[in-house]
Amino acid sequence: MKKQMILIVLALFAGLSVETQAQEPILSSPNGKIQVSLSQSNGQSADWFLTVTSGDQTKKSVVIPRITLGLEREDASFYNGLQLTKKTRSIRVKEKYNALHGKRMICTNQANERTLVFVNSSNEVMNVVVRAYNDGICFRYAFPEKKISKVKITDEFTSYEIPQTADRWLQRFVPSYEGAFPHQKETIVQGEWGYPSLFQLENSCWALITESNADRNYCATKLSNKLQTNSYKLTFPAVSDGNGMGDVCPTISFPWKSPWRVIMIGQLSDIVESTLVEDVSDPSVLKKTDWIKPGKASWIYWAYNHGTKDYKRVCEYVDLAATMGWPYTLFDWEWDQMSNGGNLEDAVKYANEKGVKPMIWFNSGGPHNRVYSTPRDRLITHESRVKTFEWLKKIGVYGIKVDFFESDKQNIMNYYIDILEDAADYELMVNFHGSTVPRGWSRTYPHLMSMEAVFGGEQYNNGPIMTEKGAELNTIFPYTRNVIGPMDYTPVAFTNSQHPHTTTYAHELALPVIFESGIQHMADRPSGFYALPNEAKEYLRQVPVAWDEIKFLEGYPGEKVVLARRSGDNWYVAGINGTNKKGEISLSLDFLKAGKSYKMQFIGDGESGSDFKIQSDVVQKGTKKTISWLPRGGFVAVLTLER
């Protein structure tokens, strides 16, 4: 009788709904503030989902009430009807790694991880690996079995339910990721949205959604709330993307792992300072990296769209880089049509003789794009890349900018990686334009210095929106696009392009600190830089592009942002005003070393937008400064440790 009672109790326990069992979290972050629970909807035949909460022991709030899980393969479904067969024990992920460029040089990948083992009606296994970090959560799918055959993934059911009351900053999806992030406050807009997507939740908690560690075995995805206003479902690329070339549904081989689905969670400081996209990515595959050198570059295209045709004009930009001490210059499109005194090889030779390392532009070419700017046939195959890269190495070119990918399909994900792998063999640094957003590749392939995927400085050539909205957009990107990886915005212009800027000179001067990129292309024409006061020129000579540390000091998307970045013992503090109103901020230097003095060189707004206020001072930890700025204004302060 006793044995029968035990069996009955066990049977009742097994029959409890998982939703009841899920009251206790399955996983917590190392500091215990972020927790993940697992539930199942309406009994054993429905879908499974995760719930994310955040807060301390006294007050916790639901950040994302529902993250639906599931995949559909052409040969099997892993959605409705899944059975949970096992939850592995929590393990600690603990790793330190060095970055060659980015927000910080020494990064920590530290999380708690569990694997959820599901089986479908055919007893086939799908794992869901979940990690909880102090600044967010990540999860990915895996098929652990080994099979010879390949299959297509026909759908991914991952979706994020966002509370109705959340504010959101979303960019309408376009394959180039070049657009604004308008603030949706009360009216929620339906559509398709690119990564990253930013949400302000209750209790001043923020969440930023993206994905990372994309590889050859999947496509990149986007978000769609077309069907349900508050539910953002992962969606494969459109058939029309990439000029209609390539399959929409990715083909996978076994064993298989998906890219990580990444949610950064916390205060704005947690979002801005996070390296989660790189943390979950594969370590560097390069054995030798001493040839990878972050730095600033002069850039001809912003002021002269067809300037690379003109050898003498190109030489002016080489001279600018040499004068300013910038290590690089970029020969943009139409270098194959260069004349007026020399050709490309002449320009490369001139640059190298001046101690400036040239990089050159390529059209990614192929049937996936309709842009016929030449050269467009140099990178399409492995054989053509090897031939081209051998030639570049021979004549003295140090890097390539590759443009117009126009698709996130699996075939283009493979193309990105093909370029990175072949470029590494010839020690060429890479910058992707007209591209997808960063997905962790700068860790795996650290010679990937930057990616565009932003409505950046070159848009002053294309329409009036930057004249009208440039300052506001500049104060949104640090909370969205630039959070997830290097951003080739091409900042800093004091003169005007086709459409004038309305940001102040001090605002422009702040951008190399506000924006992070392994290669920072300085946009203005030579005369714009030469006309600056000596203090501003010296700052632009010395400001780093790779950092040891980042601190978010204050701000709000679309209004303002103030950041501090450290390089060695010195700090660079910058702030920009995204509004059309004057204002002031109180800057507290609490992040400085105690007991040390720093010389502060301050450059801020003067009486007008084209004037500077320049001051020097000695400051210490805890020093407070009140800083005034103009509409669309800004400032930068260089804090040098005194010996």
* pLDDT tens digits along 22-64: 457 999 999 999 999 999 987 555 799 999 999 887 788 999 9
Stretch(es) of the chain classified as CATH 2.60.40.1180: 564-641
SS (H, E, C) 311-344: HHHHHHHHHHHHHHCCCEEEECCCHHHCECCCCH
Give domain 2-279's CATH architecture: Distorted Sandwich (2.70)
pLDDT digits (tens, 9 = 90+) for 245-266: 999 999 999 999 999 999 999 9
Degrees (nearest 5) of the Cα angle 137, 143, 144? 105
Going by pLDDT thresholds of 50, 70 and 90, the confidence category of residue 547 is very high
User: Going by C-beta distance under 8 Å and a sequence separation of 6 or more, which residues neighbour residue 11?
Assistant: none
Residue 541: how many CB atoms within 10 A of its CB?
A: 13
pLDDT at position 10? 38
Going by pLDDT thresholds of 50, 70 and 90, the confidence category of residue 364 is very high
User: Looking at domain 564-641, which of 2.102.10.10, 3.40.630.30, 2.60.40.1180, 3.40.50.1100 is its CATH number?
Assistant: 2.60.40.1180
Query: What's the number of CA atoms in the CB half-sphere (13 Å) around residue 473?
Result: 23
Q: Is residue 203 predicted with pLDDT exceeding 80?
A: no
Length of the chain: 643
Average pLDDT for 83-94: 97
Q: Is residue 313 predicted with pLDDT exceeding 90?
A: yes
Residue 88: how many CB atoms within 10 A of its CB?
A: 12
Q: Is residue 277 predicted with pLDDT exceeding 50?
A: yes
Average pLDDT for 376-401: 97
Q: Is residue 2 predicted with pLDDT exceeding 60?
A: no
Q: DSSP letters of 199-266?
A: EE-GGG-EEEEEEE---TTS---EEE-SSSTTEEEEEPPPTTGGGG-S-SSPEE-SSEEPPEEEEEEE
Going by pLDDT thresholds of 50, 70 and 90, the confidence category of residue 643 is confident
Q: Is residue 367 predicted with pLDDT exceeding 60?
A: yes
The H-assigned helical ranges of 354-481 are 382-395, 410-425, 441-444, 465-474
β-bridge partners, 193: 172, 223
Distances (CA, A) of 298 to 360, 502, 540, 545, 637: 12, 22, 12, 14, 23
Please give the backbone phi and psi of residue 296, each rounded to the nearest 5 degrees, phi first.
Answer: -95, 155
Please give the backbone phi and psi of residue 50, each rounded to the nearest 5 degrees, phi first.
Answer: -100, 150
Going by pLDDT thresholds of 50, 70 and 90, the confidence category of residue 1 is very low
Contacts 24+ apart (CB under 8 A), 333-336: 333/301, 333/308, 333/361, 333/363, 333/373, 333/403, 334/306, 334/308, 334/309, 334/373, 334/374, 335/308, 335/360, 335/361, 336/374, 336/375
What's the chain's average pLDDT?
Answer: 95
Note whether 435 and 176 are within 8 A (CB): yes
Stretch(es) of the chain classified as CATH 2.70.98.10: 2-279
Average pLDDT for 459-463: 96
Query: What's the number of CA atoms in the CB half-sphere (13 Å) around residue 44?
Result: 9
C-alpha to C-alpha distance for 427 and 423, rounded to whole angstroms? 6
pLDDT digits (tens, 9 = 90+) for 481-520: 999 999 999 999 999 999 999 999 999 999 999 999 999 9
% of the chain surpassing 90 pLDDT? 92
pLDDT at position 12? 36
pLDDT digits (tens, 9 = 90+) for 217-234: 999 999 999 999 999 999
Going by pLDDT thresholds of 50, 70 and 90, the confidence category of residue 125 is very high
Q: Is residue 179 predicted with pLDDT exceeding 90?
A: yes
Note whether 472 and 88 are within 8 A (CB): no
Q: Tokens 């005007």 identify what position?
A: 496
Q: Is residue 20 predicted with pLDDT exceeding 50?
A: no
C-alpha to C-alpha distance for 281 and 259, rounded to whole angstroms? 9
Q: Is residue 69 predicted with pLDDT exceeding 50?
A: yes
C-alpha to C-alpha distance for 282 and 497, rounded to whole angstroms? 40
% of the chain surpassing 70 pLDDT? 96
